[in-house]
Amino acid sequence: MVQNKTITAADPQKKSNFIHMQIDADLAAGKNDGRVHTRFPPEPNGYLHIGHAKSICLNFGLAERYGGKTNLRFDDTNPSKEETEYVDSIMEDVRWLGFDWEDRLYYASDFFPKLHEFAIQLVKEGKAYVDDQDAETISQQRGTPQKPGVESPFRTRSVEENLDLFARMTAGEFNEGEKVLRAKIDMASPNMHMRDPIMYRIMKAHHHRTGDKWCIYPMYDYAHGQCDFWEGITHSICTLEFEVHRPLYDWFVDQLQESDYRPRQIEFARLNLTYTVMSKRKLLELVKDNHVNGWDDPRMPTISGLRRRGYTPESIRNFSDKIGVTKVDGMIDVSLLEFSVREHLNRTAQRVMGVINPLKVVITNYPEGQTEELDAINNPEDESAGTRKVPFSRELYIERDDFMEDPPHKFFRLGPGREVRLRYAYFIACTDVIKDENGEIVELHCTYDPASKGGNSPDGRKVKATLHWVSAAHAVKSEVRMYDRLFNDEDPSGHEDVDFKDFMNPGSLKVLPDCYLEPFVKDSKPFDHFQFERLGYFNMDPDSTPNKPVFNRTVALRDSWAKEQSKQ
RNA sequence: UGACCCGUGGUGUAAUUGGCAACACGUCUGAUUUUGGUUCAGAAGAGUCCAAGUUCGAGCCUUGGCGGGUCAACCA
């Protein structure tokens, strides 16, 4: 175990929380030689989600704050649910978020031999026994929170018999469910977890790392604290529901303790987000039953889903800082998450023009066959991003929403007889509206003012709107996937009598197959971020092919016009 | 009917050894703007679940209520 010689004082700039205070107190009391060592302990039975990101940022953030270390540990004590696929995705996600466990990658299964030895020690000390009863009987004997349990008839077995039976359990002589190893603590404890908890159960399952070496596997409560201990963890951060497990955590560590060093469990409130479900079981259900297209579906709150949606690691880390850490079981508004991406992407995303709901415009006084290259700014928030050329020609596409035949008062955009600016190009005025036999508008005829090249008119004439556009002949035809929240209800899991899936938003994905983007996007790679001006942030989806680029909408821009409209 | 945890504007958090509640998101004005974005200026919004107590003084301490959460997998 490595000693951290330099413990830096807590950074007063960063917001404090109750865990900092407890660690400060531990440090002040001289505990654990002044070390701070945390761990992130996922079970590899699913993909990581934004709630895990909170925990990852917390654990690695603590280490950073105090000059300590953080281990990655896979809590793989239940082979029936765990898979290598999950191990790989978890490592990828933690790295993507920007954290590094260096050489400290552990698996609970690494400790199976030591755990087994320790179990034998407890048996020898008369602190553990083999119980022959089945699960149901044991469960009944355990009592209820308000009613004490009763002791198992096998509780008083001799050490010799227990040793023999446990050895035979280990050797595979018994069937699943036939026997368990239990800690001998207190069947009358007001804390259910202290009523002779099960340490080992028989599972004849293939483990993703230890193969068929074992046929008994340790329970979480028996494994976790000891793994912490052997890894030299000082602060074992977990979520609130483990609070009642703490006495048991401490009990096992007490039996193990051989020096002043001692890991300590601290619990915090897990993340709840509005309009989303966060339980792995529910996320797995969405995936398995094809309600979404896999764990990395951009509508999923998984790290891989958020990545594919276009979220950046920075934005998730900033979000994590903003929400803080407490023991209050609350619910955070998704709009805070959305704010975090916008904030980051506004500073960093390449601007580009793209028309997702095209309406053709012909500039009738612009020479046929002529093309001009106009200068456009790549990112107004970052001068070093430079400029690019955008082709302009006689036939263009603009957004359908940017034209109204009969515009209301507050509508600033194009209408019959109105003049607007095409960004970086010219002022244009609408002269004719062309419709098909159904009365649907199919094309606009406009004239441009050659003197307004670049977007300014020499006579100082003002326009009320600036529209994005794409030259029809140069456009890159693309598919754009418009994502919205997966659920319509603020708390889809919060209704006892209604299944969360009943709240799924049927409009959570709208595929627009015929969008036109400016040629600049031709060179982009999957996961590249853009702002489509006036529309939102988008990124290229890995489904893209050279012939058919695909973009996902990460989040829309703030839209005070849409807000104005929704007031009506 | 038990044990443990929690209770600060709409939401999330903060408040140094107790010293008349700060910040962010959201909301609402207004300004600027070649993105109805960004930015900037400003406003509204809690007297800290309730009650009693200790104190010159309590969101912070004490007691009692009330409200919410967690715990009865051979899951983690």
- Residue closest to B3, CA→C1'? A190
pLDDT tens sequence across A361-389: 999 999 999 999 999 999 999 999 999 99
Write down the pLDDT at residue A497. Answer: 85
CA–C1' span, A427 to B63, in Å?
75
Please give the structure tokens belonging to residue A420. Answer: 């607007």
Q: Look at the block and give the residue holding tokens 């508004």.
A: A333
Output the CA–CA distances (angstroms, integers) from residue A18 to A21, A24, A37, A327, in the order listed.
Answer: 5, 10, 17, 9
Residues 95-114, chain A, CB closer than 7 Å to nucleic strand B: none
**Cβ of A191 near strand B (distance < 7 A):** yes
B strand bases under 7 Å from protein CB: 1-8, 10-15, 24-28, 34-39, 68-76
Residues 204-243, chain A, CB closer than 7 Å to nucleic strand B: 217-221, 224, 240-243
CA–C1' span, A206 to B55, in Å?
66
According to DSSP, the residues that pair with A517 across neighbouring strands are: A354, A476
Question: Which parts of chain A sit beneath pLDDT 50?
Answer: 1-12
**Cβ of A384 near strand B (distance < 7 A):** no
Q: How many residues does chain A have?
A: 568
ipTM exceeding the 0.85 mark: yes
- Residue closest to B70, CA→C1'? A241
**Cβ of A548 near strand B (distance < 7 A):** no
pLDDT tens sequence across A495-519: 888 999 999 999 999 999 999 999 9
Write down the pLDDT at residue A568. Answer: 66
**Euclidean distance between CA atoms A211 and A472, whole angstroms:** 60
CA–C1' span, A564 to B26, in Å?
16
Write down the pLDDT at residue A335. Answer: 93
**Euclidean distance between CA atoms A83 and A175, whole angstroms:** 24
**Cβ of A324 near strand B (distance < 7 A):** yes
| CA nearest to A208, candidates A312, A93, A109, A343 | A109
Residues of A labelled as active-site residues: 43, 270, 280
| CA nearest to A243, candidates A261, A270, A262, A272 | A270
Write down the pLDDT at residue A567. Answer: 74
Write down the pLDDT at residue A5. Answer: 27
| CA nearest to A66, candidates A105, A27, A30 | A27
Q: What is this structure's pTM? A: 0.95
| CA nearest to A272, candidates A329, A187, A197, A192 | A329
